[in-house]
Amino acid sequence: LKLKGLDPALINEMGKDVYRLEVIAERFSKIGSVSDIKPVILQDAVKQSVAYLENRISDKVRLIFDFPESSAMVQLNESLFSWVIENLTKNAVDAMGGEGIITYSMGEKGRHCFLDISDTGKGVSTSKFNRIFQPGFTTKERGWGLGLSLAKRIVENYHEGKIFVKQSEIGKGTTFRILLRKG
């Protein structure tokens, strides 16, 4: 591609996309296997997960990181957890119609760390809170309804954490919370 005189920035982005496909293939090969968990600084893992998406989402989406100065350690399989963050971020972008604010905030409660991912999207009615993580449930016209069910499986089965809708208001947005043990 370099010989054909293509823009070096474009070639670089294509390289990142190819690498990303390799990472995705590796992630899905891990589903159902024993998870490779290690201590990780949660805010670093979140920022790295979102960094890839920043150039691939609308300029009308603003990403805000509201993290404390402390560096909380949690036990993660970074590859699988990154997929969860990317999926929640993409869902938020879709819910906002490609325009709005996504806020990532973090804190600690006792022996746990929490990560809240909030958007300014269309919101979800409380009647759907219990079904939202079920396979096949989707609010999208063109969706399989597998993203949130897989996210729940990764958080709860592989990381022994919890993921749930913390709050949602129609027309104002939704906040998902992930709880993870410190470690």
pLDDT digit string (tens) for 7-62? 777 777 767 766 666 666 665 665 555 568 999 999 999 999 999 888 889 999 99
Cα angle value 157/150/120 (rounded, 5°): 115
- The reply to whether 13 and 71 lie within a common domain is no
Give the confidence band of 3 by pLDDT, cuts at 50, 70, 90. Answer: low
Residue bearing tokens 């294509």: 14
Among candidates 82, 167, 153, which has minimal Cα distance to 119?
Answer: 167
Residues 148, 175 within the same domain: yes
Q: Are residues 11 and 92 in the same domain?
A: no
Do 83 and 164 lie in one domain? The reply is: yes
Q: Classify residue 145 by its DSSP letter.
A: S
State how beta strands 112-119 and 173-181 pair: antiparallel
- Threshold 0.85, pTM exceeds: no
Indicate if 90 and 136 belong to the same structural domain. yes
Whether residue 88 sits in one domain with residue 135: yes
**What number of residues does the chain have?**
183
Token pair in block for residue 89: 């971020």
Inform me whether the pLDDT recorded for 85 exceeds 90.
yes
Shared domain for 107 and 154, answered yes or no, is yes
Angle at 78 between CA 76 and CA 84, to 5 degrees: 95
pLDDT given for residue 14 in this prediction:
66
Number of structural domains, the chain? 2
Q: What is the pLDDT of residue 2?
A: 55
Print the domain residue range for 91. 36-181
Look at residues 132, 117, 126, 121 and name the one whose alpha carbon lies nearest to residue 173: 121
Shared-domain flag, residues 123 and 50? yes
Average pLDDT over residues 73-93: 94
Q: Are residues 18 and 99 in the same domain?
A: no
